[in-house]
Amino acid sequence: MQVDLTPEFQQCLRDLAKCYRSIRSDVQAVIQKLRVVNFVGDRLAGVGEGYVVLKIRAKNRDIQKGKSAGYHMIY
């Protein structure tokens, strides 16, 4: 599976990296998991027919509160 990052995502990643130093490695771990396993995460309901939209949570190592205080990525 090939994972392409949009320019908007890359800009947000740069902005968030100012506050959260380890965001790049946290996101990279999720991308590696996506490359190995095709569909990871929870399916979002209510999205148009024919589309599969998933949400995955990633732990934020800069905040020690678990996945609920981490990042939510939609793909």
Q: What is the pTM of this model?
A: 0.73
Distance between CA atoms of 71 and 18, rounded to whole angstroms? 15
Chain CA centroid to CA 21, Å: 16
Print pLDDT tens along the chain (75 aa): 677 888 998 999 999 999 989 989 988 988 888 888 877 888 888 877 778 888 888 888 888 776 677 888 888
Neighbours of 70 (CB within 10 A): 19
Phi and psi at 43, nearest 5°, equal: -80, 135
Beta bridge partners of residue 42, listed in sequence order? 55
Question: Residues with Cβ < 8 Å from 44, sequence gap 6 or more?
Answer: 53, 54, 55, 74
